[in-house]
Structure 1
Amino acid sequence: MGFGDLKSASGLKVLNDYLADRSYIEGYVPSQADIAVFEALDAPPSADFYHALRWYNHILSYESTKSCLPGVKQPLGKYGPQNVADTTPAKAVEDDDDDDIDLFGSDDEEESAEAKRIKEERLAQYEAKKSKTKLVPVGYGIKKLQIQCVVEDDKVGTDMLEETITAFEDYVQSVDVAAFNKV
């Protein structure tokens, strides 16, 4: 896991490919993950790696407030695509003998057949419930959420309901009313 050595062209290519469809290393806002990867770069990426350069310049604008960004900074190898081997130079690691001692006595390796069956049933139930969501495809990979509600006009007006829904600006672009049920 990880980007590899970000000082080499191969590491920068992995970073560039990773950022081709993402704005940040993790999530939808800049975080400590972005700062960790940013600090691993010793210079801005070349123009050949335009996704990485765009991301670098954007994170550079947060340099004065980088300690205020959310998240917890982890080692560089924890970030990036899953299928890339970490080729960053290994630091000296202290040998901890207590790593293999399980103080609470849990044996995760020996999972019973009954527990596996229950886990599979719950996953199947979750997938069935998830497939019944009201997402309707619009086009080009865009989906809209359709919901039904009955509005009691004396308590909540439809305008108030639309304002409340559109307050989630990061997730909602617009609200269309297909039908009304007023009580």
Structure 2
Amino acid sequence: MTVVDLKTAEGVQFLENYLSQKSYIVGYEPSKADVETFSAIQAPQTKTPNVLRWYNHIKSFSDKERSQFPNKKAEFSTGASKPADDDDDVDLFGSDDEEKERIKQERLKAYSEKKATKKVIIAKSSIVLDVKPWDDETDMKQLEQQVRTITMDGLVWGASKLVEIAFGIKKLQIMCIVEDDKVSVDALVETIQEFEDFVQSVDIAAFNKI
């Protein structure tokens, strides 16, 4: 496994190139891999726009929301650890020292105040799916009706059209808007593929953050 030190310019550039083709570190939804990578990197600059976009998106989630992300591992290892003098390494909960206790209480208070005033940002994505039938005899109108029967909290179906592939076979190209923390794109694709009488395969034609 490739080890990447995200404290270096070379490591950040590696992540910039990596995220130029991906929305998340693994798959189509945020996961523990994003949290681990986020923790290992300093605030990126405008010269790495893909990292900056991804960093601000992960930053918009609360600690509680991040803790509920699915457990997935990145294709690379950050190989980074916190400096020994990092404030987070102080064992505030294992000491009776009055000063440390005071610091702990101040941090808890500041965290509570921040949570109370934090603006809730709902991250959404616009997705275009290519749904391919088995052959030219497949009823594409009924295929689309089957797809639109899928309902999920945070999923809204949009416009659609038929696009010819070859030999009279057409695919259904359909757009949808999803809330990232509610809808798993992988699960959505798998659900569509369960219509085995109509659907041969499903591909993601476009994936854009809103």
TM-score by length of 2: 0.43
The structure carrying a bigger strand percent of its residues is 2
Q: Which is greater in Rg?
A: 1
